[in-house]
Chains A and B, each alone.
Chain A
Amino acid sequence: MSSITAQNHTSTDSADSVRSYPRFLWWGLGEATNGGLRFYVWMFVLTAISLVGANAWANQVAEGMIITNMTDHVSWGLYIANFTFCVGLAAGGVMMVIPAYLYDDEEMHRIVIVGEAVAVAAIVMSTLSVVVDLGRPDRFWHLIPVIGRLNWPVSMLTWDVIVLNGYLLINLHIVGYLLYMRYLGRKPNPKWYVPFVFLSIIWAISIHTVTAFLYCGLGGRPFWNTALLAPRFLASAFVSGPAFIILVMRILRITAGYSAPPGPARTLIQIIRVAMTINLVMLASEIFTLFYTGGSHGASARYLFFGSHGHYGLVPWIWTAIVFNLVGTILFFMPAALDRSTVRIAACVLCIVGIWIEKGMGLIVPGFIPSTLHEIVEYTPSLVEWKVTAGIWAFGFLLLTVLLKLIATVFSGEQNAGKAIASSG
């Protein structure tokens, strides 16, 4: 672990690392608040939306969740729908890690940190989505082992809490370590992050599998009680995650001039093509099983796709999602998608929105309609729920922007200084 450059570091590296850390954080804060007018406008708007969301949530905590549109019949709604999608987004980052580390894709190696930053932001968004859904967030400490009473391993929610926090820590460590080493001008020591990277590959699969297990283990909800739910989640995560990363890369290129080589995006597109096909095949399999057999097992699907007993609330949502997913898939398979083109961007946007609907409103809400006693009580999110969710997304983007700013500064700073540190470590 020797230092390469002529920095103010001598032999006691670890002591220096610790002492320099606050300075690193301060540097990060300064860096994160630097930019042109466009940047400040962007951050200001995001902050404003976050504050609107925070205020809406504070009202919800004070007045009770009665101001949402959730009921004893549909007791989970937009928040958990968003949570499910965001976990998928976080898991999608693994599709950059695998080519970079398992297959030694050099070009991917240099930008995999973007995927990890997205993962951090997405995990924060999913955690926030769950926290705002709690009836008593003041009792969060009950979840902490030892001082609270964590019902592990029986409750799937405890598994979810553990794996999500673990994934956040893993990715924070990787991103933080790489950034910090860059800041210190040192070559990152593989021993300190590569094991975590490999761990994150397995862990990413686990976060979305565990999230799926939350739903598919419940016998009382036949719409969810299918073995195919976890594979479906993973397949759609490996579409939405990489698609989101492609969009982020495009924005980085436009705003920061940070240009990645074309190879990694192509790899991601190839992955998306396969994953989306698998996702559609699984969806078709679900639809066949539900509709061909019929009976009360398919009651939720009937409500979702065609309406039931005079209630049609979700029909426009799901068909929009189906159309978006199909069109997006077709666009992904077009040759133009492999180049930097509008086709690629359109495909990404369509698939992200389509998957958000299909996995969120199109999975969580129909699980509750009809209720376990076969009553139909419909649900559309209230204004409070939309505000809070918008606030969560805005905060996630804030966090992502800060992380990407640091990453971009570090990378472009290196390029400017001509430092030839091979491989992003």
Chain B
Amino acid sequence: MIADDNSSPERQAETNEGWHLPVVDQPSTRRTAMKTAGAALGLAAFGKAISPLWSIPENVSVDEFLQQHYKELSDKDKQKVFQRLEAESRETYGAEVTISDPKPVPGVRFGYAINLSKCNGNGACMEACNKENNHHRGIDQSYIRVLEMSKGSMDMEHGTTTYDHTVPQDDKFYMPVQCQQCENPPCVSACPIEATWQEDDGIVVVDYNWCIGCRYCEAACPYHARRFNWEQPEIPAGEINPDQGYLSNRIRPQGVMEKCHFCLHRTREGRAPACLEACSTGARVFGDLNDPDSDINWVLKNKRVFVLKEELGTQPNFFYFFDS
């Protein structure tokens, strides 16, 4: 290739005494001028190309950008964060909300069981989840998916979630699937930045302000329990549930993961999760696995209980049983 004006080290050595900015030494040839013009044009084009990014600072404040991981926030930091989030909710959604941060109750380990003889697939649990957790309205999002399965087979390949007929059908049974809050959660091992972890009461939570949205946990989960916010959630102000938890049902930002959290803003206060209260057939049982007299332990002791995909070794805290 033909060397240009500023190419050869020997040439530069001859023209320079000591060190100073090379640009000063460039002879102003047409080629150099064109290169400069080209560079300026390129930079301008680049700036225009990435101009949609300038909208980001409006949506992401400096405080949010610098916010530390949940486990490293002091109580005062948390108060500031919650206030900021409440203000953002007011601005963006026009709703007054309260964000709380209930701690796990010491000694409690949550378990959940579904009676497959009772579930009739009506989906009231899905709707309750959608409303309780301030889900994006566009696609009727929910953490629960109810599978209509053929009697006589546990093979989900013959199951369907999009059935739209009277339930229950005689030759089918219905199996809601949601986060199993596994003892050995593959999603927690997958996360590269510990944005998701298992708390002392067994609930696997997500710090929505720490997640970078790589979706590795979604690939890792064997139960389709995780959801990603592909866009900014849209919820009418009147439908927003104002009783929100920082790690649970506050309105999540765009680009982060979320999942069923056993309604921890309710269950850590002792209340039943929204899906259980909504269940029309009373097919759901929830309680403290560490309490020998709890309903969930009665079910585990007296019913033939199984878990999904047990061979994967995830050890779910979510159980299924039939009446007899």
Contact = CB atoms under 8 A, between A and B. Distances in A.
A23 B256 CA distance: 44
Interface in A131-175: 133-140, 142-143, 148-151, 154-158, 161
B193 A136 contact: no
B22 interface: yes
A261 to B, nearest CB: 20
A115 to B, nearest CB: 21
Given A33-B35, A220-B223, A19 B255 contact: no
A409 B3 contact: yes
A7 interface: yes
Interface residues of A, number: 78
Given A64-B254, A151-B192, A155-B191, A374 B23 contact: no
B9 A27 contact: yes
Contacts of B220: 218, 220
Given A54-B46, A136-B256, A220-B309, A370 B192 contact: no
The interface residues of chain A, by DSSP majority, are classed as helix
A26 B226 CA distance: 49
Contacts of A4: none
A373 B214 contact: no
B91 to A, nearest CB: 18
Contacts of B232: 64
A59 B194 contact: no
- Taking residues whose C-beta sits less than 8 angstroms from the other chain, chain B's interface range is 35 or more
Interface string B156-180: 1101110000000000000001000
B7 A34 contact: yes
A408 interface: yes
Given A23-B12, A135-B215, A218-B186, A149 B3 contact: no
A220 B3 contact: no
A219 B312 contact: yes
Interface string B22-65: 11000000010001001000100110111111011000100001
A183 B218 CA distance: 49
Interface stretch (B123-131, B205-213, B235-243, B279-287): B205-213
B4 A135 contact: no
Contact of A66 (B2, B35, B191, B231): B231
Interface in B179-236: 186, 189-195, 210-216, 218-224, 226-232
Contact of A139 (B147, B190, B210): B210
Contacts of A267: none
Contact of A27 (B6, B51, B156): B6
Interface of A: 7-8, 19, 22-23, 26-27, 30-31, 33-35, 47, 51-52, 54-55, 57-59, 61-66, 68, 70-73, 75-76, 130, 133-140, 142-143, 148-151, 154-158, 161, 183-185, 214, 218-221, 256, 296, 299, 367-368, 370-375, 405, 408-409, 412-413
15 contacts: A27-B7, A52-B49, A57-B50, A59-B52, A65-B228, A135-B214, A138-B56, A151-B193, A156-B190, A219-B222, A368-B219, A374-B155, A408-B1, A409-B1, A409-B7
